[in-house]
Amino acid sequence: MIPSVTKNLLFDHFAGRTTPLQKRLIEEWSRDEANQETFYQWLAEWEQQAPLYLPETDHALHRYRQHMENRPVVDGVVQQPDQSGHTTRNRPFWTRWLVAASALILLGLTGWLYRKTLLYESYRTDFGETRMFELADGSRVTLNANSLLQVPRIGFGNYSREVLLQGEAYFSVVHTVDDQKFIVKTDKGVDVVVLGTEFSVYARSRGAKVLLNKGKVQVRYEVEKKTGQVFLKPGDLLTIEGQRRPNVRTVIARKYAAWKDHRFLFENTKISELIEMLADIYGLKVEIKSEKLANRTLDGSFQAKNADEFLSVIAELLQITVHRQGHTVLFQE
């Protein structure tokens, strides 16, 4: 004769407090269909008494009601939800197609024209402005002046993380649980592929640069219709100019990412490089009258919040006079 299973015993069982012998007893008992009924009845009661949380019913019920109303039962058969309208019955069938087709063409055309806007969310910085923001996956991007970053509105972080960059940006990429790649694409024939690290990418008219701060990145490039790839170590700076093969050298990483903090670091920097920088960041065109001045180099580190501050520091450092008129600047000894 098997002792009967009590409610208390089952409650203990649900809570994981039964011995193997008691489990055996419950197992025997639950083979009987009537006892299974009791089993679920007490299970419901136990769940009611010791809930892990309190689910919100109203909203879920509302959705369930809608689900059922969209699928009415006719002669015992559930109807699939009907999306088409009922009002166009008396029009010739082809007008509907005509309307649909022209609407589709119009939609397609607008979509094509605005495809970038539709597909990508754009982050843009003005001359002299740097901005930091966070992407949906938690990765952070600091955009240097005069730059554009485009992030897909759909699918970013679902299977891959791809962004498009024009200009210069510093990336601090979060490593995802499923090891998703983060890819920075540029129109300079250089793509940077990473899992989670810190690096900066420069892609402007004169060429492309990738600087790695931490971790490891893979750079894919295309030069003269040939593709290749390079892996960078921390401190590596990769430069591609024109149609030449990429050049990798080790640099002081700080120097190349200092712009993030409105800081500028110069070490044996040519005035010509400085002029490029002024064009990139502030949109300024610099004219130099003397050959001698153009060949000088610059050392030092300073912070500047805007173009005028920058220019006045330069004037001090080089002991020159700087005249600015709108977007044109004149350097004179």
Cβ neighbour number for residue 160 with a 10 Å cutoff:
13
Q: State the nearest-atom distance from the C-beta of 168 to another protein, in Å.
A: 24
Q: State the nearest-atom distance from the C-beta of 53 to another protein, in Å.
A: 6
Site residues (CB under 8 A) for another protein, limited to 115-134: none
Q: Which residue bears the tokens 């025997």?
A: 28
Q: State the nearest-atom distance from the C-beta of 298 to another protein, in Å.
A: 37
Site residues (CB under 8 A) for another protein, limited to 291-320: none
Q: Which is nearer to another protein, 79 or 122 (CB)?
A: 79
Closest CA to 165 of 118, 213, 199: 199
Q: State the nearest-atom distance from the C-beta of 222 to another protein, in Å.
A: 32
Q: Which is nearer to another protein, 20 or 85 (CB)?
A: 20
222, amino acid identity: E
CA distance 240 to 190: 8
Q: State the nearest-atom distance from the C-beta of 201 to another protein, in Å.
A: 21
How far CA 92 is from CA of 88, 97, 115, in Å, comes to: 9, 10, 34
**What DSSP state is assigned to residue 163?**
E
How far CA 219 is from CA of 139, 142, 227, 241, 256, in Å, comes to: 19, 20, 10, 15, 18
Q: Which is nearer to another protein, 21 or 52 (CB)?
A: 52
Q: Which is nearer to another protein, 38 or 269 (CB)?
A: 38
Q: Which is nearer to another protein, 41 or 227 (CB)?
A: 41
Which residue among 84, 177, 224, 249 contacts another protein (CB under 8 A)? Answer: 177
Q: Which is nearer to another protein, 121 or 137 (CB)?
A: 137
Site residues (CB under 8 A) for another protein, limited to 23-82: 23, 26-27, 30-31, 33, 36-41, 43-45, 47-55, 57, 60-61, 63-65, 67-69, 71, 73, 76, 78
Q: Which is nearer to another protein, 24 or 285 (CB)?
A: 24
CA distance 33 to 202: 71
**What DSSP state is assigned to residue 243?**
T
DSSP alpha helix (H) spans, the chain: 7-14, 20-29, 33-49, 57-70, 93-113, 115-119, 253-257, 271-282, 291-294, 307-318
Count of residues that interact with another protein, criterion CB under 8 A: 48
Answer for the pair 302, 330: CB distance below 8 angstroms, yes or no: no
Assess 104 for contact with another protein (CB under 8 A): no
Report the chain's C-alpha Rg in angstroms. Answer: 33
CA distance 167 to 208: 9
Q: State the nearest-atom distance from the C-beta of 46 to another protein, in Å.
A: 9
Site residues (CB under 8 A) for another protein, limited to 195-254: 196
Please report, as ranges, the residues that interact with another protein according to CB under 8 A.
Answer: 13-17, 23, 26-27, 30-31, 33, 36-41, 43-45, 47-55, 57, 60-61, 63-65, 67-69, 71, 73, 76, 78, 138, 174-177, 196
